[in-house]
Amino acid sequence: MSVAKQMEKQQQRSSKIDRKTVEKNRRNQMKTLYSELNSLIPPSHKSKGVMPLSNQLDEAVNYIKKLENKLERMKEKKNYLMGINSSRSMSGTTGGRPPQIEIHCSGSLLEVVLVSGMDCQSLFFKIIGMLHEEEAITVAAPSVEYETERISSRLKNFVREFNKCPSHY
């Protein structure tokens, strides 16, 4: 046998060994990946007992689809809530527009109207506190929170005897 033929046979054996090694490494890598995928699925979404690989993959696919649906619902909810916020922003209740305060006097009756956004609730409580310090009687202080496009807080009918009441502060 010539040297060339011997080298050719040796290369064929070597390539067969290389292919076997590559295939063995590929299988080991796939086994590791399957195991890792299976470990990511919570026990509450797994069937009991040992299952064939195909069933484990089906469970993983079902779990991922369930998560995708949940994510989609959450995105829809976020968009819905963002739509509410943007409509509030367009109506001026949020986004830097200052609260509106109106004060009207009519004899012994003082009417204070405050319209503000959720970001100005502390102002509402400060005004109520200030009026109580002045011994004003609060007849009504409604607060509409989530039903309308804007927060409408009206402080109505503060009764106090005034000898002299300016028309606006």
Q: Are residues 81 and 41 in the same domain?
A: yes
How many domains does the chain divide into?
Answer: 2
pLDDT in tens, 119-152: 667 777 777 777 777 777 777 666 555 433 333 4
pLDDT of residue 140: 67
Q: What is the mean pLDDT of residues 13-32?
A: 88
**Within a domain: 67:** yes
Residues 6+ apart with CB under 8 A from 136: 110, 158, 159, 160
Q: Are residues 78 and 132 in the same domain?
A: no
Query: Does any domain span residue 164?
Result: no
Contact 131, 158 (CB under 8 A): yes
Residues above pLDDT 70, as percent of the chain: 69
Question: CATH no. for residue 58?
Answer: 4.10.280
pTM exceeding 0.85: no
**Does residue 97 have a pLDDT over 80?**
no
| 81 vs 28: which has the higher pLDDT | 28
